[in-house]
Structure 1
Amino acid sequence: MLQSNIKSPGVYINELNAFPNSVVAVATAIPAFIGYTPQAQYEGKSYLNVPQKVSSFAEFQAIFCYPDPAPPAPPAKQYSPQYYLVQQKAKPADSDYMMINGSYYSILPDPNTIYYLYNSIRLFYQNGGGDAYIVSVGTYGPPSGSTSAPGAQIVNPNVKLADLTAGLYLLLNEQEPTMYICPEATLLSVADNSTLMQSMLGQNAAMQSNISVFDIIGGRNPDPIMYTNDITTFRNNTGVQGLSYGTAYYPFIGTTIMQNSDLDYTNLFGGDIKQLAPLLSPASNPDPVVNAVIAGIETPSSPPLTVTQYNNSLLNASKQYAAIIKHVLFDANILPPSGGMAGVMTTIDNQEGVWQAPANTSIIGAVSLPIRLSETQQANLNVDAVSGKSINAIRFFNGIGILVWGARTLDGNSQDWRYLPVRRTLIMLEQSCKLASQPYVFQPNDKNTWEGVKAMIGSFLTTIWKEGGLQGASASDAFSVDCGLGTTMTSDDILNGFMNVMVKVAVVRPAEFIVITFQQQMATSS
């Protein structure tokens, strides 16, 4: 209270702050998912192209999923990919085939019905996910009624670059997300995927508050020999800007997200039971029980049975049908790893800290890999002498299982930014100090303010050091904070309204290569 404001006799109380301002660490694991959802409305309000924060899978379901019908009807299908069994003249080159009645059949999806966002959200929450932003850029498009060629990359024409880019730009106004994830980017053409990835990295570099987690086209069904072509294509298409803000994982992962109840005969041949019937009950060896079930599907009784009841009848009546559903389920469960990695990072951040590398850990729900990389094969992913762009491998280890075996950014040749936990830790420190310093804007640019800012940031960094986020035997070894005339500012800076703060930190780096040296020595007498 200024004495000049006291006008009349009396007693006045002047409250003083006993404690200085403090820095509160910003959240480090809040992903923003961009893609297509079953729907995007809640209580009559549309949430299309609206970044919406959710805190649980139940909230996601309430806004972006179809409502379930009243019992006893089965729950609504949120994702319904379509698959076709196409007869081949010879054994297919890839493993996506079945032997039925003495003939080879490739199991091929209708590419227009393949989407990844819904199951990636499920994988995110299965791995410990929490708060997340959802940007729904549209709902599912119509099926094509046809399939792609065996072994070909899936390109969904309903997934459009313009939609995903528009959803990305909506996040320019959101400061909270720390990760951008677009699982359906791999359903674009290679050229469109390149444009989207470069846009994501450019926005990351401009905002300096988030990273992008990429999947790699070709990681779903890699060729065991020529898979390196997919890696080269990815490296050629990410550009050179903002590489330290990006990280990539390879290959896709086989999961248990979808269960038997999520697929039935309506997911085969576009729901045309007449195309499925000859496979289950061929004319040369008819099955009367299967024929009876199929007849009931074609001509429902009164009251009609549900799809679930007919599906269970087919599963019990035909081992061939059960094998087909099992094979299709395996294919539908192959997902890009970015959603699971977002959950892994959330769990590690909450349990240990953002400075802990999200590696040497498993992805819950991952049970298979389309390719098992060896140590030699990973070497070419981890270090690339030409582009310097590192790719993190997901590998299988005997007796252990599937592990994330890498924690590098795309900027693999940079001594400063090659490690993902270093980049994410610096983002957390920078954004926390930035937000905490805002109350000092327009304060007098004098020694009192400088000392207050130094004490505030120093106290925050001391806490981070004690938690293990900075290295050094003492706090002075771990960081330094400078602010003052003659150290970080000149007289001109003060006249122009600049208060410069210099913060130096020794960030903890992962022990990526552990070298143990053995040497023989001569025997000595006891």
Structure 2
Amino acid sequence: MAGAYKTPGVYIVEKDAFPNSVVEVATAVPAFIGYTEFADNKGKSLLNKPWRISSMAEFISYFGGPPPAAFAIARKNSAATAPADLVASPTASDDEKTIIDEINSARAAVTAIAGLDKNPDIFSGADEDFSLGKDDKYFLSLEGTYYLLYRSMMLFFQNGGGACYVVSVGNFSKGIEEGELSEGIQLLKKEQEPTMLVIPDAVSLPAADCFKLQQTMLSHCGYEMKNRFAILDVFGGFMDNRDNECIDTFRNQMATNFPAFGAVYYPWLNSSIVPVTELSFRNIHADSLATLVSLLTLEVRETVASLKKQESIIAEINKLPDSASKSAAENNELHKTLSAVCPLYNKVLAGIQHKLNLLPPSAAMAGIYTMVDNTRGVWKAPANVSLSAVSSPTVNINHEEQEDLNVNTAGKSINAIRTFIGEGTLVWGARTLDGNSLDWRYINVRRTMIMLEESVKLATKAYVFEPNVANTWVTIKSMISNFLTSVWKRGGLAGSSPDDAFSVHVGLGETMTAEDILEGILRVTVLVALSRPAEFIEITFQQQMQKS
């Protein structure tokens, strides 16, 4: 430096004493793709644009409210089972005979509608799976497309969700298309922050399109980006696998490419996202209001003894077909009246509530991932954790039934969501789809490695084009070692000491040859001992001889 000085004086030279630090990247930033009411930010379109939000209020502000939900009431064409008909006495008047005939019809109708709120199917156009009993039954079917993103976002935030990205690929004016959702995935290529990919609307597609889209999700995460994790749902996962074989279909249809970058959960969830207080006869399709009027009228004839009271209630029921022309206050009053005097009306609303609350679990699991990452760390398996806003899984899985889900010869592990007495609904599985791999069997192992790789990669960019000499090697090694030491101290790496938990290797003759240096290549090898969950705990009891 002395040769550079020309004027006598005192010169200050500062030198960096410490290497650059590695900043840990975010691990729980899911990206949701689907359909919304609108996509607008103060007049600027957000359609097909990844947009970051951090609350349900922001989602509603930018993307609108819930999708329309109008249900039709239909009846299967088979003989109904009803109680024995009443027989009018020989001296009965014509009016009495008319009422007895109406009561007999009402009994058949009430029998047919029984169990309406227990129909587990959420899609329209099915066959016997929509019936509500062994004989002729009424059932509810959604008129139009079943959009899942809005209520899935509610489930995400209820289970600990935070910052996330939303890609709106369309509004509710048209159906769900696999091509549009796939294009939404490609839009995420330029976004650095998202670490998870969730598409609840995938299961609303036809089966073939659903599996195609899910394969695209895995390819995006494991091949194109290599730094994301896909959370998948089982198509038809609201039904029992023994009856529907939905698990076998999933395993047969899903390709085996990049299975370590995705996990799937079964069964679907009965949530409590939509309260029955938000529902009314406005959720009944206009074409089915006449059917509802007929059923409620027959119920009144069956259950109300006073003829005067019957006529009063029926007069209210007959207002339903004209409700579209009434004011909101008048309709609210009519809804309250029907709720108070017509048990069958409440049963129909309960059936609609059940259908709207039936949701695939991927969004809830994205919330669980976020909550576990924020409270314990990405290295903690997102399992043995209870789900919020969930009353039960749609299928009650026992110990024996989970064996094939968790461990399968094909390696495609399915994580179970189970109910335990006194413990509620728990996530009872922590495997990726690569269940036979000793490297990437567990979700937390794969996601921890993604976090380490991305954090080190971004920090090391500062040394691109630096001299490929010992000073640079030592600086990089120190930087990575300091970062891994901090991760080890927080329990992210296994080992009683840092030396047992990781090692960093760089240098000529160790990771590089002289030819590598001539070609401008600096090679660093990092070995880490990642923590794995204690999936199976074995406790051995044995008797011993009495010692005193």
| Matched letter for residue 211 of structure 1 | F
Measured after TM superposition, the shift of residue 55 of structure 1 is 1.3
Does 411-420 or 133-142 show the bigger shift? 133-142
Partner SS, residue 281 of structure 1: helix
Q: What corresponds to 1:109 in structure 2?
A: 142
Pick the aligned partner of 1:82 from 66, 70, 93: 70
Q: What corresponds to 2:185 in structure 1?
A: 168
Q: What corresponds to 1:262 in structure 2?
A: 278
> Residues of 1 paired with 2:75 and 2:288: CA distance?
17
Q: CA, structure 1 residues 283+450, in 2 after alignment: closer, same or farther (shift >3 Å)? A: closer
Measured after TM superposition, the shift of residue 274 of structure 1 is 2.4
1:471 is the counterpart of 2:494? yes
1:215 is the counterpart of 2:233? yes
Partner SS, residue 453 of structure 1: helix
Measured after TM superposition, the shift of residue 316 of structure 1 is 1.8
Pick the aligned partner of 1:415 from 432, 438, 441: 438
Q: What corresponds to 1:62 in structure 2?
A: 61
Work out which of the two has the higher radius of gyration on C-alpha atoms and give 1 or 2: 2
Asked if structure 2 preserves the Cα contact closer than 8 Å seen for 1:113 and 1:141, the reply is no
Measured after TM superposition, the shift of residue 297 of structure 1 is 4.6
Asked if structure 2 preserves the Cα contact closer than 8 Å seen for 1:80 and 1:263, the reply is no
Q: CA, structure 1 residues 281+509, in 2 after alignment: closer, same or farther (shift >3 Å)? A: same
Measured after TM superposition, the shift of residue 231 of structure 1 is 0.7
Asked if structure 2 preserves the Cα contact closer than 8 Å seen for 1:255 and 1:335, the reply is yes
> Residues of 2 paired with 1:417 and 1:99: CA distance?
44
Measured after TM superposition, the shift of residue 270 of structure 1 is 4.0
Partner SS, residue 137 of structure 2: strand
Measured after TM superposition, the shift of residue 412 of structure 1 is 0.3
Aligned length, in residue pairs: 493
**TM-score (norm: length of structure 2):** 0.85
1:134 is the counterpart of 2:166? yes
- Tell me the alpha carbon deviations over residues 154-177 of structure 1, each in whole angstroms, 9 at most, x when there is no partner: xxxx11111100001111111211
Pick the aligned partner of 1:125 from 157, 165, 169: 157
Q: CA, structure 1 residues 270+284, in 2 after alignment: closer, same or farther (shift >3 Å)? A: closer
Partner SS, residue 194 of structure 2: coil
Asked if structure 1 preserves the Cα contact closer than 8 Å seen for 2:286 and 2:321, the reply is no
> Residues of 2 paired with 1:204 and 1:271: CA distance?
45
Identity %: 44
Measured after TM superposition, the shift of residue 328 of structure 1 is 1.5
1:321 is the counterpart of 2:339? no
| Matched letter for residue 87 of structure 1 | R
> Residues of 2 paired with 1:425 and 1:90: CA distance?
59
**TM-score (norm: length of structure 1):** 0.88
Q: What corresponds to 2:504 in structure 1?
A: 481
> Residues of 1 paired with 2:166 and 2:142: CA distance?
26
Q: CA, structure 1 residues 19+136, in 2 after alignment: closer, same or farther (shift >3 Å)? A: same
Q: What corresponds to 1:515 in structure 2?
A: 538
Unaligned runs of 5+ in 2: 81-111, 120-129, 303-309
Asked if structure 2 preserves the Cα contact closer than 8 Å seen for 1:315 and 1:321, the reply is yes
> Residues of 2 paired with 1:513 and 1:239: CA distance?
28
Q: What corresponds to 1:46 in structure 2?
A: 45
| Matched letter for residue 182 of structure 1 | I
Measured after TM superposition, the shift of residue 401 of structure 1 is 1.6
1:495 is the counterpart of 2:518? yes
Asked if structure 2 preserves the Cα contact closer than 8 Å seen for 1:266 and 1:272, the reply is no
Measured after TM superposition, the shift of residue 304 of structure 1 is 6.2
Q: Which one has the bigger helix percentage? A: 2
Partner SS, residue 339 of structure 2: helix
> Residues of 1 paired with 2:369 and 2:430: CA distance?
11
| Matched letter for residue 249 of structure 1 | Y
> Residues of 2 paired with 1:234 and 1:224: CA distance?
11
> Residues of 1 paired with 2:299 and 2:347: CA distance?
20
- Tell me the alpha carbon deviations over residues 153-205 of structure 1, each in whole angstroms, 9 at most, x when there is no partner: xxxxx111111000011111112111100001011112111211111111111
Pick the aligned partner of 1:279 from 270, 278, 295: 295
- Tell me the alpha carbon deviations over residues 465-492 of structure 1, each in whole angstroms, 9 at most, x when there is no partner: 0100101111000000011011111111
Asked if structure 2 preserves the Cα contact closer than 8 Å seen for 1:183 and 1:338, the reply is yes
Unaligned runs of 5+ in 1: 67-77, 143-157
Partner SS, residue 222 of structure 2: helix
Q: CA, structure 1 residues 14+486, in 2 after alignment: closer, same or farther (shift >3 Å)? A: same
- Tell me the alpha carbon deviations over residues 414-440 of structure 1, each in whole angstroms, 9 at most, x when there is no partner: 000000000010000000000010100
Partner SS, residue 213 of structure 2: helix
Asked if structure 1 preserves the Cα contact closer than 8 Å seen for 2:50 and 2:165, the reply is yes
Q: What corresponds to 1:70 in structure 2?
A: none
Partner SS, residue 417 of structure 1: coil
5 Å matches for 1:89-104?
A: 89=78, 95-96=118-119, 104=137
Measured after TM superposition, the shift of residue 15 of structure 1 is 3.3
> Residues of 2 paired with 1:296 and 1:491: CA distance?
89
Asked if structure 1 preserves the Cα contact closer than 8 Å seen for 2:293 and 2:320, the reply is no
> Residues of 2 paired with 1:182 and 1:369: CA distance?
20
Partner SS, residue 355 of structure 1: coil
Q: What corresponds to 2:19 in structure 1?
A: 20
> Residues of 1 paired with 2:179 and 2:3: CA distance?
61
> Residues of 2 paired with 1:415 and 1:122: CA distance?
35
1:359 is the counterpart of 2:383? yes
5 Å matches for 1:167-246?
A: 167-206=184-223, 207-220=225-238, 222-223=239-240, 225-227=242-244, 229-246=245-262
Measured after TM superposition, the shift of residue 4 of structure 1 is 7.4
Q: CA, structure 1 residues 392+283, in 2 after alignment: closer, same or farther (shift >3 Å)? A: closer
